[in-house]
Amino acid sequence: MVASFGIVLWLVAQVWVIQTAGFPSLIDATIEEIKDGLECGLFSSVDLVTAYLGRIAEVNADLKAVTEVNPDALEIAAALDDERAKGKIRGPLHGIPILIKNNIATKDKMNNTAGSFALLGAYPPRDSHIASQLRAAGVVILGKSNLSQWANFRSSNSSNGWSAHGGQVHAAYIKNQDPSGSSSGSGVAASLGLAAACLGSETDGSIISPSQRNNIVGIKPSVGLTSRDLVIPISEHQDTVGPMGRTVRDAATVLQAIAGPDPNDNYTSAIPGPLPDYLAACKPDALIGARLGIPANTIELFQGFDNTSQPEIDAFFAASKILAMAGATILPNANFTNLTEWANSTAENTVLNADFLVNLASYLAKLATNPNNVHSLADVSRFTKEVMPGPEEYPSRDTAVWDQALDPVSGFNNTDPRFWPALQQDLFLGGEGGLFGALDRNKLDAIILPSSFSPGFAAIVGAPIVTVPMGFYPANASVVMNTRGDLVDTGPNVPFGLSFLGRRFDEAKLIGYAFAFEQMTQVRKNVLPVVIPKTEVKVRPRSL
């Protein structure tokens, strides 16, 4: 009697704490807080979807982060609410809305276009493996996020986050901010809480760069950890799908749901054994005893390319002192030994061009409907230049990347004998002569770099990166425009991140380091975006 009275009092106190403290704004709410809110009946999944749709409607005319919302989202949420009411909980993502990049196919009413009118109405025969994993986990696929068209594999003079179908994405930390890319809409949407988290994809920088410029956490998984089945490709050797979220734990939770083998993507057979528990890797003391290396020559090289990145470099060295305070050993000269050759190499270009010819045709061949009859890169190029040049903004945004791949003399596909030397050069320059060599020679657990400098080395060897917010350009920073001259690349309050790079399939380690750093610094909260959606989820008072 006394004990049960105590329990009731405790319950009342818990509910009182939640209600008086208030549920956090959706710009900050973590997946765990949202899950708790669903579990204790503060709101339903339908309420959540309604709130996120309201937030998207508030800001999307300006920011163009979302290209399509899922017309079935409310219905799916209601079905998941029903399941919950009947006691079936699929896992930590049950009923949680997530936006996915507009290159990951879903078999529903939504299009999968990579931002091109060529693929409007071109539906897949079934869900991509990633989409079916999300659904199995109870995720509400809320919509498709905008991207740099064709994942930034078309033009030499386009802008990050522009697509013909979705318009120009803007980030929210300074007016007219370049969102970076190519997972631009995912970066902005995760940053502003237009969904609980987002998925992006990366070939070279497309998760890490927009994550850092939108002040969020991004995980670029090892190539092969997440399936590319029915994802509009660039390159089988470099493409990977990963989570973008506001916290390391959120990103780790989403990674757990999407990682794993898929018979439709043979690269996933390289996964070594059972998946680690990525959430359990989020330990505040993860940095104790970690050996982290700084490739000083690489920072010097990038400093030479771009003298505006000094605030990122200064913040990086300050961050390395924090990592040391947290118990890590920092090796300051873990140089990449063949950096000069890397900087001069065209091998990556060769590999991507050759893979794209084959991998794109292979995606197109799987489509169930193909209203524009595009079956090859040549068809897509013709469509862009001749059928719909206006909406595709050709030639203001050129097709230089495709022209090179399709060049009858210098272009070739990945069965050509010229392909293999290029791939081997990549594997050396990112491997022994780059990231893996530095890790092994110095017996390191990870390499750290400012996120702006980090993607290329991991890209060419399929290695993982985790980026976590590290700081912001100072208030007196001068405004630097992008190369097209239409967006603010860097300037006051533009965010940047810290990258951890590791060996293949070492995500759990990198997640641990990023989590420990995030807990010590909590940098994300230091600067607010200039655009903040106001719609919030309606919290019900709980009747006891």
Ligand X SMILES: *[C@@H]1O[C@H](CO)[C@@H](O)[C@H](O)[C@H]1NC(C)=O
Catalytic positions are: 101, 182, 206
Mapped onto helix, strand or coil, the DSSP state of residue 68 is strand
The total of other beta-carbon atoms located within 10 Å of residue 294's CB is 21
Is 60 a binder of ligand X (CB under 6 A)?
A: yes
Cα separation of 474 and 483, whole Å? Answer: 22
SS3 3: helix
Quick one: which of 44, 106, 111, 180 contacts ligand X (CB under 6 A)? 111
CA distance 97 to 196: 6
Region of 12-20, 79-87, 198-206, 470-478 interacting with ligand X (CB under 6 A): 470-478
Q: Which of 141, 136, 179 is nearest to 160 (CA)?
A: 179
Structure tokens at 50: 């309604």
CB 476 to ligand X: min, Å: 4
Closest distance between ligand X and the C-beta of residue 316, in Å?
Answer: 14
Q: How many whole angstroms separate alpha carbon 417 and alpha carbon 421?
A: 8
Q: Is 418 in the site for ligand X (CB under 6 A)?
A: no
Selected from 44, 45, 50, 67, the binder of ligand X by CB under 6 A is 67
Question: Which range binds ligand X by CB under 6 A, 1-9, 98-106, 392-400, 449-457?
Answer: 392-400
Q: What is the DSSP string of 120-147?
A: TT---SS--HHHHHHHHTT-EEEEEE--
Pick from 287, 404, 306, 304: which is nearest to 354 by CA?
404
Q: Which is nearer to ligand X, 25 or 340 (CB)?
A: 340
Measure the CA–CA gap between 113 and 525, rounded to whole angstroms: 34
Nearest C-alpha neighbor of 166 from the set 145, 186, 194: 145
The residues pairing with 162 across neighbouring beta strands, listed in sequence order, are 168
CB nearer to ligand X: give 362 or 522. Answer: 362
**Site membership for ligand X, residue 128 (CB under 6 A):** no
The residue (of 200 and 276) whose beta carbon lies closer to ligand X is: 200
Q: Report the alpha-carbon distance of residue 414 to residue 426 in Å, rounded.
A: 14
Q: Kindly tell me which residue out of 30, 176, 264, 329 binds ligand X, with binding defined by CB under 6 A.
A: 264
Task: Tell which positions 185-244 bind ligand X, by CB under 6 A.
Answer: none
Neighbours of 311 (CB within 10 A): 17
Q: Among residue numbers 315 through 354, which ones bind ligand X (CB under 6 A)?
A: 333, 335, 337-338, 340-341, 343-344
CB of 301 to ligand X, least distance (A): 6
The dihedral formed by the CA atoms of 101, 61, 109 and 390, expressed in degrees to the nearest 10: -90
Nearer to ligand X, 433 or 450 (CB): 433
Q: Is residue 89 within 8 Å of 81, Cβ to Cβ?
A: no
* Min separation Cβ 397 and ligand X, Å: 7
Q: Which of residues 129-158 bind ligand X (CB under 6 A)?
A: 157
| CB of 73 or CB of 458, closer to ligand X | 73
- Parallel, antiparallel or unpaired: strands 291-293 and 329-331: parallel
Residues in contact with ligand X, shown as a per-residue x/- string from 290 to 309 under the rule CB under 6 A: ------xx--x------x--
CB of 404 to ligand X, least distance (A): 13
Which parts of this chain interact with ligand X (CB under 6 A)? 60, 64, 66-69, 71, 109-111, 120-121, 157, 166-167, 264, 266, 296-297, 300, 307, 333, 335, 337-338, 340-341, 343-344, 358, 395-396, 398, 413, 415, 428, 433, 474, 476, 478, 484
